[in-house]
Structures are given as C-alpha cells and as structure tokens.
Amino acid sequence: MENSTFQRLRRSQVSQIRETIRANAYGGHTAGLADGLLQANLAILPEEYALDFMRFCQRNPKPCPLVGVSDTGNPAIPTLGPDIDIRTDVPAYNIYRRGRLEAEVSDIDTLWNDGLVTFAIGCSFTFEHALIKAGISLWHIDNNSTVPMFRTNIPTIAAGPFSGPLVVSMRAIRADQVDLAVDLSRKFPLAHGAPIHAGNPAEIGIRNIDQPDWGEPAPLPNGCVPVFWACGVTPQVVIENARVQLCITHKPGHMLITDVPEDAEIAVLNPTQPNDCPTRRNQ
C-alpha cells in the first residue's frame, strides 16, 4: 500500500502531497517527491536553545543550510509556504527527551507548545531531481528506499551545548558521472551543495558501507563510486549530545516539502560552502 501511494504521489502536485501527509495517509520517505521544490529537515527546540542552535547552523552551513525559522510558538513558516503546519506536514517525526530517542510519531499536535522554535534546514533530496534529469541513476529512489546515512569522523564547529560529528548521505554514482554529480549539486547550496567526499569510506571514518546508521543499505555496483554529501541529520546527533529536555525532528528521510522553488535565492546566514568534495575542491 505504501509503495502504491508513493508512486501516486510522485505524479502529484505539492498541495496533494501535503494533504495526504497531513491526513496521515502517507508516512514514507519523501525522496523523489515534489520535483522542483525545496525539501527541508526539521529541528524543533525550546526557545532557550534557539540562539545557540542558530549559531551552530551559521558555523556549519554544509550540513545545516538554514532556510527558515519560525516565530516562537508559531507552527507556521510562511516564507516556506502559506499553508504549512509544522505539526502535521511531515510524514514522520522523532521525539527526543534529554538526548534519547523516545518515540516516532505521525504528528506533533499534542506535543506543540508556545515555547517552541522550528528550524528548517535544506535537504539533499532537492538536488536529486537535477541528477535524475541528467541521467544519473539513484538506487534509493528507483527502489523506494531511504538513502543510507552515516556518522563520520569529521567534527562540526561547536556552539553552546551543540557539538558532534558530521553526518553524510551516500549515493553510488557511476565513475564517469561523479564530476557531473559534483557540478550539478554544487548549484544547490541550500541543499548541502557539492559532496564532501568521494571514494574510500574509511577516509571519513565509515567502517562498513553496508551498515548505515540511518536509512537503508544500498548496493555499490561495479564501476560505481560512493559519493558522500553533508546531511541534515547532523543536527539530530548534536541535539542528542546536548541532552535538550525536548526536541522534535523529522524522521531521517521524511522531510518537510516546501512551496519554495529548488533554485530560489533564500538568504542564508553564511552562504559559503567549505569542505567541498576533495576531487573538485579548488575548481
């Protein structure tokens, strides 16, 4: 049933997708949905942590390209869509209490309170449409799977209580298409931009590419290279480390779909994109 709904939603307008999610009629991943629109990761925190978390995003723009921030207590982010309701418009949410994952839920109506601030962070699902249009096959979309994500040994820059390792998402790209994938994704700085690494996973601290920390394993066919992009799950790791009394995030792979065109110019706190894929860093 979930797969048939996913295939239908791939052909649907964003209003229909959001209505289906809001009605709890679809709880799957959002990769491949809403071609041409920006998707976003979520981090919802008590106001007392908001400034430090905003500093963390500003200092770490690759994993945390900030695309929207709500007013305190307001479940809307009108800059991302006039009818978006953060409490219902994500297919699945993770609930953390004092750094521990407590539950996964389909909406957060009963958890919402007037002291919460929502941060929307750009997602790599946005640039995947450009890769597909260029003829780059993405196994997780072709097979209705959640992209594999991994903790690395690359540290982020701390801010207040927020610190931890960079998280990356992995896609197997044909060797002769890696440069194309780098060039295309670089055009989407609000969706993590160019990859941070291509090649041997051990060089960034990944011991077993067949055992992702989040998402589902994906094959690495002969002639393909594992390519790693900074990932918006990074905030979930640093929030765990901060042991915030309550934090709500998206379930990895299950994003907020906005009304914003994927190539829109949104003012971000720090538009620089350090640590591009080493094979292309200085080009």
Tokens 């982020």 correspond to what residue? 156
Confidence (pTM): 0.84
**pLDDT tens digits for range 51-94:** 999 999 999 999 999 999 999 999 999 999 999 999 999 999 99
Contact 35, 228 (CB under 8 A): no
Angle between helix 234-242 and 50-59 (nearest 10): 140
Structural domain contains residue 283: no
Structural domain contains residue 269: no
Instruction: Kindly report the average pLDDT of the chain as a whole number.
Output: 89
- Taking 90 as the threshold, does the pLDDT of residue 36 lie above it? no
**pLDDT tens digits for range 94-114:** 999 998 999 999 999 999 999
Binned at pLDDT 50, 70 and 90, residue 201 comes out as very high
Structural domain contains residue 159: yes
Structural domain contains residue 281: no
Structural domain contains residue 282: no
Range of the domain at 236: 2-261
Q: What is the largest CA-CA distance in the chain?
A: 52
Distances (CA, A) of 68 to 57, 146, 208, 270: 11, 24, 34, 13
Structural domain contains residue 280: no
Residue 272: name the closest of 79, 123, 57 by CA: 57
- Range from 27-31, 120-124, 266-270 carrying the lowest mean pLDDT: 266-270
Return the CATH number at 239: 3.30.2040.10
| Amino acid 273: pLDDT | 39
- Taking 70 as the threshold, does the pLDDT of residue 158 lie above it? yes
Give the percent of the chain with pLDDT over 70. Answer: 92
195-221 mean pLDDT: 96
Structural domain contains residue 279: no
Structural domain contains residue 273: no
What's the structural domain count of the chain? 1
